[in-house]
Amino acid sequence: MSYQVLARKYRPASFQELEGQEHVLQALINALDNERLHHAYLFTGTRGVGKTTIARILARCLNCETGVTSTPCGTCSTCVEITEGRSVDLIEVDAASRTGVDDMRELLDNVQYMPSVSRFKIYLIDEVHMLSRSSFNAMLKTLEEPPEHVKFLFATTDPKKLPITVLSRCLQFNLKNLSPEQIVNYLVQVLDRESIAYDDSGLWQLGHAADGSMRDALSLTDQAISFGNNEVRDESVSTMLGSIDRQIVFELLEHISTGKGAALLETVAKLSDFSPDYAALLDDILSVLHRVAVAHAVADAVDNAQGDRDQILAAAREIPAEQVQLLYQIGLIGQRDLPLAPMPRVGFEMVLLRMLSFYPSGSAGNESPVVERTTSQQSASGSSSASPVAELMSAINGSPEKADMVSPDEVSLEKKVSVEKKEPAEKKVLAEKKVLAEKKEPVEKKVPVAKKVPEEKKVPLEKKVLVEKPVEKKEPVEQIEASAPPVSTDEQISRDLPALEPANWARILELLDLSGVTRTLAANCQLESVGDKECLLRLAEHHASLWNVSHEKRIATGLAGLYSRKIKVAIEVGETDVETPAQRDERERQDEQAKAVEEIQNDEHVQQLVENFNGRIDPDSISPLRQAEP
């Protein structure tokens, strides 16, 4: 008896046997039960997620002899013929091999004829995106208004290549990639039916390697059964896939957490004998660190689906939560920079050494010289081990305590001196505390003396200010008001301050202390009206994008400081019926430019040069001379 591969042997025959794609199945089941049938269905998704399988199940549901139902019997002649691929009323077309317009015309010539024995004539076109543009155009009219006895089922992995005119005539269902959990759940059912022994960890490796495709998972399972002599074991699957044992990841993290640099490099050297994929190995490290971080946050959220729950919880007890975040960030950046390394192994080793360098000191069995130096510095200063994130930030900010590099001889000497002089130092500290306690009272007496001197100096100064500029009202002033004292009428006239009127807006703008976008916005406004405490500005419509509430406040602050009174500013967008300051400046600039061009063109020397050398004057190269302000 010939062997049938698992991907074909266990192809689902009903919606209930499908794993995943619940969002598609629910829509189809409800449509079938309520007999709300569309004439064209489009199934999209990556390879091996069930597009063709769902289309064939839908064909059985439509043509089952028991009637249109979401649960076909599977035993009637129509269901058996569709399952075996010999139904005359189910026309399956491989669009990759029949892409021409002539093939499509030949296919559609028989659309008007009734089905031979079934209820519907169903056209199942796989990889429909391979059809040519002419083929799509040839089927548009038929696809929009087909006969009542015709149904179209399309499947494609690249819906972006389909014309929008075709997409608009179909019900589109996007099939999702299957998760590793869904794949492992289905593989367990298949292997139980086949009576094949397996390891959960081996199935998880297959689930991850399938990358969301159930067909790929079943094909890899076939290969694993053959490789493992009718067994699917973790070790044999790892060897077959060329992946690294997950235990190696925990071993590397253990060497980092204990500071064993020599053991870390030795483990990497052993791994290099198998020519591993260092990028995939770094992915595994990041995955484990993610699970450890989850264990720190919610320990019950860590499942044993991958058979490493105990190891994850043990790692969470050994590695602090903040250190997990730092290691994850270092690994993530290293993953990005791995392609830039001279060799993959060098880049991978540098990522591990960086993790080791920024791990907190004081671990047992520390063999790293970098960590030893940090421990010696902390013991000499008498402080506890700092957070690794704090050490990293202090190193970046250039902290003087950690910026100086200390040689091993200096560290050992400093440690020795601190041990020999421990008692005298303590006595010295006690003596200093005693002296400070005795001198506490005189120090307190000096404080009011120091404060008294400036108070005596401030009295005449305050009186002088009050005499020169008396302030009668002491009402609270808002931020929008100017902090300058009121200006008298005589001083205003002496300063030649223009009155706050629409006609003087250009002169007022020159006196306002505005800059940047706020000045540009004000220059493109006209002063529409002036009230007692409010000014209304109108902004030209083509400059409406400049408007912002903050600009209103800045203009109001400038006006309040100029006129020494509270002024509220409101800006509305609309047509400006008078010339704005910006328009005036542009007009003056154009006038100056035109005048400069005219003077150049009328100059006798220039005209003589043009005539002698058959030249011409470029107006864009002429700019008016501006006199520098004194």
Residue with more model confidence, 14 or 457: 14
pLDDT of residue 349: 93
Task: Output the six-digit token pair for 122.
Answer: 């169903």
Q: Determine the average pLDDT of the residues in 146-164.
A: 92
Check whether 445 has a pLDDT greater than 50: no
The CA radius of gyration of the chain, in Å to the nearest whole number, is 42
pLDDT digits (tens, 9 = 90+) for 19-29: 888 999 999 99
Q: How far is CA 377 from CA 91, 357, 359, 385, in A?
A: 80, 15, 15, 10
Q: Do domains 182-354 and 489-578 have the same CATH topology?
A: no
Q: Which residue has the higher pLDDT, 51 or 628?
A: 51
Residue 493 has pLDDT above 70, yes or no: no
Residue 340 has a pLDDT of 92
Q: Are 133 and 100 in contact (CB under 8 A)?
A: no
**Bridge partners, 527 (sequence order):** 537
Contact (CB, 8 A) for 190 and 218: yes
Q: What is the mean pLDDT of residues 613-619?
A: 81
pLDDT of 308 strictly over 80: no
pLDDT at position 345 is: 92
Give the model confidence (pLDDT) of 176-224 as tens digits.
Answer: 999 888 899 999 999 999 999 998 888 888 888 888 899 999 999 999 9
- pLDDT on residue 432: 53
- Residue 2's pLDDT band (cuts 50, 70, 90): confident
Q: Is the pLDDT score of 555 beyond 60?
A: yes
Q: Where are the domains of the chain?
A: 6-176, 182-354, 489-578, 585-621
Residue 371 in this model has a pLDDT that exceeds 50: no
Contact call for residues 525 and 539 (beta carbons, < 8 A): yes
CATH number of 182-354: 1.20.272.10
- The fold of the 489-578 domain, in CATH, is GMP Synthetase; Chain A, domain 3 (3.30.300)
Q: Does the pLDDT at position 518 exceed 50?
A: yes
Name the pLDDT band for 495 (thresholds 50, 70, 90): low
| Minimum mean pLDDT range among 80-89, 479-488, 513-522 | 479-488
Q: Which pLDDT does position 270 carry in this prediction?
A: 87
CB atoms within 10 A of CB 244: 17
In this prediction, residue 408 carries a pLDDT of: 44
More confident residue, 424 or 480: 424
pLDDT of residue 302: 82
Lowest mean pLDDT among 335-339, 595-599, 623-627: 623-627
On the question of pLDDT at 434 being above 80, the answer is: no
Q: What is the pLDDT of residues 561-583, one digit of tens each?
A: 888 888 888 888 887 778 888 88
- CATH homologous superfamily for the domain 6-176: P-loop containing nucleotide triphosphate hydrolases (3.40.50.300)
- For residue 402, the model assigns a pLDDT of 40
Contact 27, 172 (CB under 8 A): no
pLDDT tens by residue, 39-59: 999 999 999 999 999 999 999
Q: What distance in Å separates the CA atoms of residue 171 and residue 173, rounded to the nearest whole number?
A: 7
Where helices occur in 10-119 by DSSP H, the ranges are: 22-33, 51-63, 77-84, 101-108
Give the H or E element holding residue 156. Answer: strand 150-156
Question: Is residue 530 over pLDDT 70?
Answer: yes
Q: What is the pLDDT of residues 214-266, one digit of tens each?
A: 999 999 999 999 998 889 988 888 888 877 777 888 899 999 988 889 999 99
Structure confidence by residue, pLDDT tens digits, 376-426? 444 444 444 444 445 544 544 444 444 444 444 444 434 443 444 444 444
Q: Which long-range contacts (CB under 8 A, 24 or more apart) does 584-593 make?
A: 584/506, 585/523, 592/624, 593/622, 593/623, 593/624
**Quick one: pLDDT at residue 188?**
92
User: Given this model, what pLDDT does residue 477 score?
Assistant: 40
Q: Which residue has the higher pLDDT, 2 or 402?
A: 2
* Mean of per-residue pLDDT scores for the chain: 78
Residue 489 is which amino acid?
T
CA gap 392, 438 in Å, rounded: 42
